[in-house]
């Protein structure tokens, strides 16, 4: 799923960036044709609206390109001397600068809003995954192997890993990184700064399954095709998912 999202983003971002540069050109040219009937304030508002549209795509570069393009073409088409990038009037300089600054600010606010929405959506998805797993364990209607496969799939998605598989018993290989209940990854006795370097790509990462004080199994993760940077929240969710398996008879 995450790979398909990345592929989709790679496809639309160039289009959004080209539109972010081109749409202010077209809008400013049209406004320039009616400059005697359109005030600069109206033109600025329309150009900011275009920047909002570019920022709404969620691509910061598209929003910033639109902001710079709006400021440049506002100067070119709507500020004397026309059809040059020169500004003689002090008030026009202030207007052009404010247009760019407001557009940049709008871009950042729009991106912040999208991040908050995405974070809320992820949390909802994590909760759904935990509830579905807990329900499957509590009802006992699914085969035990199906439960471990379900949890493995959810851990893989939450941690943005390549795959995960359940293994009985504790981890015996010291080279394998361990994800503890606090969301901390430890390898060879040292903490791994996942936020900075990501999950290990050259070795497995294990998510232990504990029953009381005993480690009765673990999920062995592979994250070799790309560097995954799950947040501490995501890592703790993975641990909670793994804990659900402690209740099934497969152990």
Q: Residue 153: what pLDDT?
A: 87
Reported as a pLDDT band with limits 50, 70 and 90, residue 218 is very high
> What does the mean pLDDT of the chain come to?
83
pLDDT at 42 over 60: yes
Radius of gyration, CA atoms only, the chain = 26
Segment 19-41 mean pLDDT: 92
Predicted local confidence at residue 123, as pLDDT? 64
Query: Is the whole-model pTM more than 0.75?
Result: no
Q: Is the pLDDT of residue 1 over 50?
A: no
pLDDT attached to residue 138 = 55
Confidence of residue 11 (pLDDT cuts 50, 70, 90): low
pLDDT in tens, 146-194: 788 888 888 888 888 999 999 988 888 888 999 998 899 999 889 999 9
For CA atoms 103, 104, 107, 112, the dihedral sign is negative
Given a contact cutoff of 8 angstroms between Cβ atoms, the answer to whether 66 and 51 are in contact is yes
Q: Is the confidence at residue 136, as pLDDT, over 80?
A: no
**Rounded distance, CA 232 to CA 183, Å?**
5
- d(Cα 244, Cα 80) in Å, to the nearest integer? 69
In the predicted model, what is the mean pLDDT of residues 39-49? 90
């Amino acid at each position: 799923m995450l790979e398909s999202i990345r592929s989709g983003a790679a496809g639309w971002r160039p289009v959004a960036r080209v539109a972010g540069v081109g749409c202010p050109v077209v809008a400013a040219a049209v406004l320039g044709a009616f400059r005697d009937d359109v005030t600069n304030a109206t033109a600025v508002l329309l150009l900011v609206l275009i920047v909002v549209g570019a920022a709404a795509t969620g691509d910061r570069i598209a929003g910033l390109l639109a902001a710079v393009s709006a400021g440049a073409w506002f100067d070119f088409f709507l500020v004397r001397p026309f059809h040059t990038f020169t500004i003689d009037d002090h008030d026009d300089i202030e207007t052009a600068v404010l247009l760019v600054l407001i557009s940049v600010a709008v871009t950042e606010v729009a991106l912040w809003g999208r991040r908050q929405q995405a974070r809320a959506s992820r949390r909802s998805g994590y909760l759904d995954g935990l509830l579905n797993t807990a329900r499957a364990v509590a009802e006992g209607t699914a085969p035990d192997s199906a439960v471990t496969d379900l949890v493995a799939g959810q851990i893989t998605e939450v941690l943005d890993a390549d795959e995960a598989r359940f293994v009985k018993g504790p981890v015996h290989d010291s080279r394998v990184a361990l994800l503890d209940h606090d969301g901390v990854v430890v390898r060879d006795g040292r903490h791994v700064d996942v936020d900075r370097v990501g999950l290990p790509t050259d070795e497995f990462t294990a998510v232990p399954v504990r029953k009381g004080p005993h480690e009765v199994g673990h999920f062995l993760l592979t994250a070799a095709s790309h560097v995954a940077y799950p947040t501490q929240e995501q890592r703790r969710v993975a641990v909670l998912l793994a804990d659900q398996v402690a209740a099934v008879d497969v152990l």
